[in-house]
A and B are shown apart, each in its own frame.
Chain A
Amino acid sequence: GENVEQHPSTLSVQEGDSAVIKCTYSDSASNYFPWYKQELGKRPQLIIDIRSNVGEKKDQRIAVTLNKTAKHFSLHITETQPEDSAVYFCAASIRGSQGNLIFGKGTKLSVKP
């Protein structure tokens, strides 16, 4: 069945460093790839997304890249800050529907001041 692999499961960086989280997906029909941030005890919230007709998208300190051939997409956070500490989930749409998402297992990012 459809699957999304996410690495690493935990990531610790120093404040100001960059963080990269990588995901691969299996469904070739996937056309929508969002990233959600979940702070401890809170609900997941969308931070950035990319559609299959775009290779890269940037929003201030965060960027996402997509390689459809390799079925691979990544989240890049630059100039990390302690408030970036959270669990980050990548996701891919399944069966071509933007609303039905399969999520990776998450990456716990810790940014040390």
Chain B
Amino acid sequence: DSGVTQTPKHLITATGQRVTLRCSPRSGDLSVYWYQQSLDQGLQFLIHYYNGEERAKGNILERFSAQQFPDLHSELNLSSLELGDSALYFCASTAGLTGQHTGELFFGEGSRLTVL
């Protein structure tokens, strides 16, 4: 158990819909990262939040947005869903209260999104 909790584990929805994925980082971790894993694309970095602030953006579509709340949990919002958005979405956390980046990312179990 990595200590990172993601919900829901599975989600099936239709094209055009909007979903929210939730992530609770390890206790004390200030950084939350979101990654998308599709069959042939490996792990694609989407966005990074540190202590409530957006720190870096990767290949995140404009239809996607994220935020990190004061209690450090994060949500990834996916809207106007398309078939190609079907993927496994991972949240990962790192960095303790001192803000030191240990390097290791602790991944949650992922949220599998299926868009029909």
A residues apposed to B, CB below 8 Å: 6, 32, 34, 36, 42-46, 49, 51, 89, 91, 94-95, 97-106
Q: A97 — which chain B residues lie within 8 A by C-beta?
A: 56, 101
The answer to whether A45 touches B107 (Cβ under 8 A) is yes
Instruction: Using A97-B56, A99-B31, A99-B94 as known contacts, say yes or no to A106 and B103 having CB atoms under 8 A apart.
Output: no
Q: B64 — which chain A residues lie within 8 A by C-beta?
A: none
A44 CA to B56 CA, complexed, in Å:
21
The answer to whether A99 touches B33 (Cβ under 8 A) is yes
A91 CA to B94 CA, complexed, in Å:
16
* B41 touches A (CB below 8 Å): yes
- The 6 A-B pairs with the shortest beta carbon distances in the complex, nearest first, are A105-B42, A43-B107, A103-B43, A98-B101, A98-B103, A46-B104
Can you offer 16 A-B residue contacts whose CB atoms are under 8 A? Answer: A34-B103, A36-B105, A43-B107, A46-B104, A46-B105, A51-B103, A89-B42, A89-B43, A91-B43, A94-B56, A95-B56, A99-B48, A99-B94, A99-B101, A101-B45, A103-B42
Among B41, B43, B95, B102, the residue within 8 A (CB) of A44 is B43
A45 CA to B102 CA, complexed, in Å:
14
Instruction: Say whether chain A's binding surface is mostly helix, strand, loop, or mixed.
Output: strand
By the criterion of a CB under 8 Å from any partner CB, how many residues of chain B are at the interface? Answer: 26
B26 to chain A, nearest CB (A): 13
Interface centre among A6, A49, A91, A100 (most CB of B within 10 A): A100
The answer to whether A104 touches B105 (Cβ under 8 A) is no
A106 CA to B40 CA, complexed, in Å:
9
Q: B90 — which chain A residues lie within 8 A by C-beta?
A: 43-44
A72 to chain B, nearest CB (A): 18
Q: A43 — which chain B residues lie within 8 A by C-beta?
A: 2, 90, 107-110
Interface centre among B41, B42, B44, B109 (most CB of A within 10 A): B42
Among A6, A51, A99, A102, the residue within 8 A (CB) of B105 is A99
A19 CA to B107 CA, complexed, in Å:
25
A89 CA to B92 CA, complexed, in Å:
15
B10 to chain A, nearest CB (A): 12
